Structure 1
Amino acid sequence: MIPWDSNFEKHLSVIGASQNEVENTLKLFIQKIAETDNENIRHFVHIVDTNKNNYDYLGNEDVVVSYLSDEESMKNVLEGVLNEQRAIQEQNIDVSMNHYFMIVNIADFGEKIAKDLIPVCKELYEDFPMIKFITFGSPTEYGSKYDEFSKLVKQNKHGLLFMKYSDQSILTASNLNFKSPKLMNQEAYYVINDLAYQVKIPLV
């Protein structure tokens, strides 16, 4: 099981997952988030699927409040959440909530997002602890864009690695090297604080 605490940890980069692994990981994260959603802390999941629109059925889950697959829906939700977070911060409102933006394909997202939304994403990513981005892609997809938001995402060293450690350079861990073995099915490295932990990913 992934030792990920959705209440306290921030952004997570998922690297090298196959399409089936992406779908299963999405469902697993949504399940874990839903387990801690209650009257004391509310969770809101936004699935950003600009590529193939394969995951709209996940919108049936209670914590999934939006499914974003086009420029207009992304603009409405991203700017709406930013305005909400600014108001909470400026008015010092005591509220317990988390927004999770699950970007299914980071390269396609970077290709299709409007330029005026890049600073919105950057501000959400950097400035508000209630906002958590979970991004998916291959090493090549993570490295394909050079805007300010993409640069931030590439700097994140906290994530899940579904591929051989030596075949990528985004996530780093002092206890792994080029000799580290290839992972088996349903296995991944959970990387946090420069250390990697081999975990079994349950099927959901």
Structure 2
Amino acid sequence: MVVTFLAGIVLVIFLRTVRRDLTRHEELDKEAQAQMNEELSGWKLILGDVFRVPTNPSLLCVMVGDGVQIIGMAVVTILFAALGFMSQASRGTLITGMLFFYMILGFAAGYVAVRMWTTIFNGNKKGWISVSWKVACFFPGISFLILTTLNFLLWGSHSTGAIPFSLFVILILLWFCISVPLTLVGGYYGAKAPHFEYPVRTNQIPR
């Protein structure tokens, strides 16, 4: 809690400094800005290139959406474990809680990814369904592929630690019956929400 409090204080000071610099920078006219370009340094040099459209915008949106889902799952799981709702003494409780929160937070992943997609294309909602499907299948697909490969190796060595086939069916049903629909619903609301407005203009010529 102390570290979080101190980090929050530093973040507030940093945001106030950057916001003040941005306001002062926007107030300059073009001639003064051109004269000042030689004196600029640090983050001010790339001020007009930060929000340029990336070469692969769908991959960026998918990674951000899945990142929000994974970080949210970790934070909520740690919070519930710290409050005593999930005991480490009970075997499998943490894994079950992580899976449950990951599936529920599919809504947040779809919402963030699609809203970022509409922001990149300045409010154009075309393609949000494709982005939602990619968010729903990218990280779980990679995890499921790794899990299947390792489990086949365990089955081949006749290990007792192998996951039974019935559990595989249950995981697939949870994935496609809960996580994917929630991600699509989140993407729908993300498409309905207004896109973010960039705080600075993007330069015509990349630096």
Which structure would you say has the larger Rg? 2
Per residue, is there more strand in 1 or in 2?
1
Normalised by the size of structure 1, how large is the TM-score?
0.24
Normalised by the size of structure 2, how large is the TM-score?
0.24
Per residue, is there more helix in 1 or in 2?
2
